Amino acid sequence: MTKEYKIEVVVEGALGTLFLGASKLPINKMEEVMNQYGAKGWSLEFMVVEQKRFMLFWQREAAIITFSRET
């Protein structure tokens, strides 16, 4: 048996970052993505939250979610 992997990147909103200087990760979007993959037999392998540069002066968070399943 081998494993198959998929990677999904969920990024915080650009407008909140521009106007407020910071925003938060869209939890509803993350739940939606996780539920979609879970319904198809994928399970969460690991997740990393990183700071990504946005334009010149701002940074925003991105969640990199890795799913796996047996093939």
What does the pLDDT look like over 6-17, one tens digit per residue? 999 988 765 554
User: Residue 35: which H helix or E strand, with range?
Assistant: helix 27-39
Quote the pTM value.
Answer: 0.74
Q: What is the pLDDT of residue 41?
A: 95
Residue ranges covered by each domain of the chain: 3-70
What does the pLDDT look like over 8-65, one tens digit per residue? 998 876 555 445 555 567 788 889 999 999 999 999 999 998 877 666 666 778 889 9
Q: Which residues contact 55 (CB under 8 A, 6 or more apart)?
A: 18
Closest CA to 35 of 14, 62, 27, 46: 27
